[in-house]
């Protein structure tokens, strides 16, 4: 099992000023990164599970990845993505009554207080529950927490009764987290303030090329640190401003085998350049990274950029910054840091869905954003089941790639019209297909075909259709896209500078979310321009 290293205590809220970000950091940190959204950030469950399991996992070859995550975190999959369920993904984050997040090093039960339960312990727990006959006895058997501290996961009426699923109270949950994360994991994820970061079980190593080809939006994949805000910003910059992510390097030795990269970040002090080497953190004896990595095998630019950002934000003078200490930040500020543009944000409580869509459209051409845009979710789901039903992650940052319109399927006399893409612009081949009477119907009779064509061209029959507008988003985990009735399948067509690109929806964390659902499920929209 990789062993590991305490992190700086960071207490934040959405309106916190920079000096409240990390009181034990250098006094001039506010001049470096004045992030008002310093609570936004949740790690990738896949990378964090590898740390907990003590081994790397080829997730593409796992038959049931959700089941493996449940085993690693001892938590139902649908409860992993919201801190209100006590999810291990939000380790060190405390959800406040107002929905904001406070970050600090967790105090878990280890050693004599907790540890892995023995078979006898589990048998005793089962025996205690088997003898329960009343609700009061059940609460007593569940542990030391009062009834009002034990969450109800679900309650379903049954004939003559109610089927209830209960979660764990905070005391038992704390003990469980102590079983999932040992003291070495805690020290690795919450390191102390000191020069250099060298946790047990990890090593700094050059494991690949800066670029495999060029920077692509799907390259950055987040790791076991809650820095989704900067990984999402990297993806947005690579997509909207592809010439911004560059490799500026110089040799460090006569054999041309050692190089350093100069990367610039813009903050309160203006543009500042930092130099970092190709060495990135990997598990000892492997080439597997616990933190940011690229989807392209052998490519390291996302890891090098994450390392450089950590060195800049933390003021680290060595080549070995404590990357876990950058957990929590503002994705709009990260867009500014990467581009030098001015950051902006729209809180959805202050703007309508139409106004938010107008902002996205104003920063897009031909369905693709032309300046980096990001979105962030609420600290917890706005209504019960809202996030679990849609596979949206609370307190998380996403990239915005653009927008699109679609005409949904239409039923005319029991004949289904194939779903047809209507893009933000009308492409020449689409015009030609319409003028030539392109095939739009599956198995319809001539009479039904005429009715459907009239629905698609209202000037013929006068039957209008209502297109649906979607925001195109990417989860920086490179997986776990949004799902449900408010999402769309297929591909997103966008003009990538001078060619039309088809972006698969539902792959690499990319999904299309209907604008009203987006406005409701996400807390804000922002970026840099």
E runs forming strands in 296-451 = 343-347, 364-365, 368-377, 397-407, 411-412, 415-416, 420-422
Tell me whether residue 228 is one of the annotated catalytic residues: yes
Q: Name which of 348, 50, 406, 86 is nearest 201 in CA terms.
A: 50
231 contacts 476 by C-beta, under 8 angstroms? yes
Catalytic site residue from 85, 228, 363, 378? 228
398: Cβ contacts below 8 Å, ≥ 6 apart? 228, 232, 374, 375, 376, 377, 473, 474, 475, 476, 522
- Report d(CA 79, CA 70) in Å as an integer: 10
- Which tokens sit at 257? 């085998």
Alpha-carbon dihedral angle through residues 413, 419, 420, 421, given to the nearest 10 degrees:
150
Query: Hey, CA dihedral for 19, 21, 25, 30, is it positive or negative?
Result: negative
Tell me whether residue 475 is one of the annotated catalytic residues: yes
Pairing of strands 397-407, 522-528: unpaired
Q: Name which of 332, 329, 355, 331 is nearest 342 in CA terms.
A: 332
Catalytic site residue from 261, 475, 492, 519? 475
Tell me whether residue 4 is one of the annotated catalytic residues: no
228: Cβ contacts below 8 Å, ≥ 6 apart? 40, 41, 42, 43, 222, 331, 396, 397, 398, 476, 477
141: Cβ contacts below 8 Å, ≥ 6 apart? 128, 129, 131, 132
- Report d(CA 336, CA 341) in Å as an integer: 5
Backbone angles phi, psi at 333, to 5 degrees: -60, -40
- HEC secondary structure over 437-485: CCCCECCCCHHHHHHHHHHHCHHHHCCCCCCEEEEEEECCCCCCCCCCC
What residues are annotated to the active site? 228, 396, 475
């Amino acid at each position: 099992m990789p062993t590991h290293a305490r992190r700086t205590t960071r207490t934040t809220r959405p309106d916190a000023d920079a000096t409240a970000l990390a009181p034990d950091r250098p006094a001039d940190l506010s001049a470096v990164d004045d992030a008002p959204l310093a609570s936004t950030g949740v790690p990738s469950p896949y990378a964090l599970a590898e740390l907990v399991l003590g081994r790397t996992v080829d997730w593409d070859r796992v038959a049931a990845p959700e089941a493996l995550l449940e085993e690693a975190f001892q938590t139902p999959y649908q409860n992993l993505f919201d801190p209100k369920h006590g999810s291990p993904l939000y380790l060190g984050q405390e959800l406040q009554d107002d929905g904001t997040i406070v970050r600090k090093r967790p105090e878990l039960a280890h050693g004599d207080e907790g540890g892995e339960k023995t078979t006898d312990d589990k048998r005793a727990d089962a025996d205690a529950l088997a003898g329960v006959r009343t609700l009061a006895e059940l609460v007593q058997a569940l542990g030391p927490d009062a009834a009002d501290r034990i969450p109800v996961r679900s309650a379903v009426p049954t004939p003559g009764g109610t089927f209830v699923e209960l979660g764990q109270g905070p005391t038992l949950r704390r003990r469980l987290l102590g079983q999932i994360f040992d003291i070495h994991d805690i020290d690795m994820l919450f390191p102390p303030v000191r020069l250099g970061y060298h946790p047990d079980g990890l090593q700094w190593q050059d494991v690949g090329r800066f670029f495999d080809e060029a920077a692509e939006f799907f390259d950055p994949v987040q790791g076991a640190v809650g820095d989704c805000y900067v990984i999402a910003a990297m993806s947005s910059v690579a997509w909207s401003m592809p010439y911004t992510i560059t490799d500026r390097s110089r040799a460090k030795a006569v054999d041309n085998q050692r190089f350093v990269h100069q990367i610039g970040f813009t903050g309160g002090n203006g543009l500042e350049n930092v130099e970092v080497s190709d060495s990135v953190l990997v598990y000892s004896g492997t080439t597997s990274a616990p933190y940011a990595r690229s989807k392209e095998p052998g490519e390291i630019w996302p890891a090098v950029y994450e390392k450089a950002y950590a060195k800049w934000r933390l003021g680290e003078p060595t080549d070995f910054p404590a990357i876990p200490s950058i957990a929590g930040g503002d994705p709009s500020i990260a867009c500014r840091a990467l581009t030098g543009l001015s950051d902006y944000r729209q809180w959805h409580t202050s703007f309508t869905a139409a106004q938010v869509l107008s902002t996205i459209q104003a920063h897009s051409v031909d369905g693709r954003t032309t300046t980096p845009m990001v979105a962030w979710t609420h600290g917890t789901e706005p209504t019960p089941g809202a996030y679990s039903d849609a596979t949206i992650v609370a307190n998380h940052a996403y990239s915005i790639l653009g927008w699109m319109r679609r005409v949904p399927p239409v039923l005319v006399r029991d004949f289904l019209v194939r779903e047809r893409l209507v893009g933000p612009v009308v492409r020449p081949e689409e015009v030609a297909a319409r003028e030539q009477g392109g095939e739009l119907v599956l198995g319809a009779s001539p009479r039904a075909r005429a009715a459907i064509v009239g629905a698609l061209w209202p000037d013929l029959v006068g039957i209008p259709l209502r297109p649906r507008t979607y925001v195109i988003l990417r989860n920086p985990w490179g997986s776990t896209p949004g799902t449900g009735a408010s999402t769309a399948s297929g591909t997103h067509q966008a003009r990538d500078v001078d060619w039309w690109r088809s972006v698969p929806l539902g792959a690499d964390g990319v999904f299309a979310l209907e604008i009203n659902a987006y406005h409701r499920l996400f807390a804000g929209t922002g970026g840099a321009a």
